[in-house]
Structure 1
Amino acid sequence: MRSMLIIVASLLVIGCSKQREPAAASAPTAPPVAAEAQAAPAATTTATSGEQAFAMCATCHSRDAGAPQRMGPNLHDLLGRKAGSNPGFDYSPALRASDITWDAAQLDAYLAAPTKRVPGTRMVIAVPDAARRQALIEYLSAP
């Protein structure tokens, strides 16, 4: 049954992760503005893209403090935590034995190729796009 759920979730994620052209791409170019005026929208764009990038992860993972475990563990306060140590989640023996402490570099390598970084992990969904991984890491780093 768990294998079937993994397959269904994988297909769902693959279908949902197709990147779409942003609506603003065809809009006329706005006139240049001062650097100070651009600073606030840039921060909003990063947060939004991180939230959008996490949408595909939300099929299996929660991010909010106290949220229940799903098919994957809750990712609240992930950075700085030892892999396979979130209480209440049944991790693969490979991830528990990996001796990874999550930081940006470890998470980036894992998301790029989970089964290569930790052979035997149950997470089979990779995030090949470096910009999307960076947005995810920033999003997961935020309180």
Structure 2
Amino acid sequence: MRHLLIVGASLLLAACGGRDAAPAPQATPPVAEAGAASSSAVVTAPATAAPTAAISGEQAFAMCSACHSRQADAPQRIGPNLHDLIGRKAGTRAGFAYSQAMQGSGITWDAATLDAYLAAPSRKVPGTRMVISVPDAERRKVLVEYLSAP
């Protein structure tokens, strides 16, 4: 099962990698995070050699859009719809079957909490089903700003 998650996440990252308007620099393949629990694999998004400050929020969100939508009326996907995420209690968006870990996390999403979660989802919420992390701090900053906008 763990190998299937790694392969699936790798395929999602590979499929989404070409959506940026500018050609992406050569990136390292996703790798399982060291010390990840055996029941779930954590995949890190490829780090880029070029500064990510030049990318837009929409470009930063491209890799997330394989699993999440952001528009108010968009349907749920593999992950929950992220419209109006900031200020919402984790695990409460109607119509999505959240993990017990997310429902019981006690998190109310704000910029700092979202940044910490994206950096290491399984450390912030042990037992979460989200397996993709965003190790690049600048990409996370752009992504958090994008998700914070109405």
Q: Please, what TM-score do these two structures have when normalized by structure 1?
A: 0.74
Structure 2 CA distance for aligned equivalents of residues 90 and 47 of structure 1: 35
The residue type paired with residue 99 of structure 1 is G
* Match of residue 71, structure 2, among 54, 64, 67: 64
How far apart in 1 are the matches of 2:95 and 2:104? 17
Distance 1:96 1:8, change over 3 A: same
* Deviations 1:67-125 (CA, angstroms, capped at 9, x unpaired): 10000000000000000000000000000000000000000000000011100000010
Equivalent of residue 56 in structure 2, options 46, 49, 58 = 49
RMSD: 2.6
Could you tell me which of 118, 123, 135 is aligned with 2:142? Answer: 135
> Which structure's CA Rg is the greater one?
1
Q: 1:20 aligns with which of 15, 21, 24?
A: 24
Does residue 1:108 correspond to 2:121, yes or no?
no
Equivalent pairs counted in the alignment come to: 118
Amino acid at match of 1:53: A
Where in structure 1 are there 5+ consecutive unaligned residues? 22-45
Asked if structure 2 preserves the Cα contact closer than 8 Å seen for 1:63 and 1:76, the reply is: yes
2:85 matched residue in structure 1:
78
Deviation at 1:14, TM superposition (A): 3.1
Aligned to 2:10: 11
Amino acid in structure 2 at the alignment position of 1:57: C
| 2:48 alignment partner in structure 1 | none
Higher share in helix: 1
Percent identity among equivalent residues? 66
Once the two structures are superposed, residues 23-77 of structure 1 have per-residue CA deviations (whole angstroms, 9 ceiling, x without a partner) of: xxxxxxxxxxxxxxxxxxxxxxx79521100000000000000110000000000
Moved more, 61-70 or 7-16: 7-16
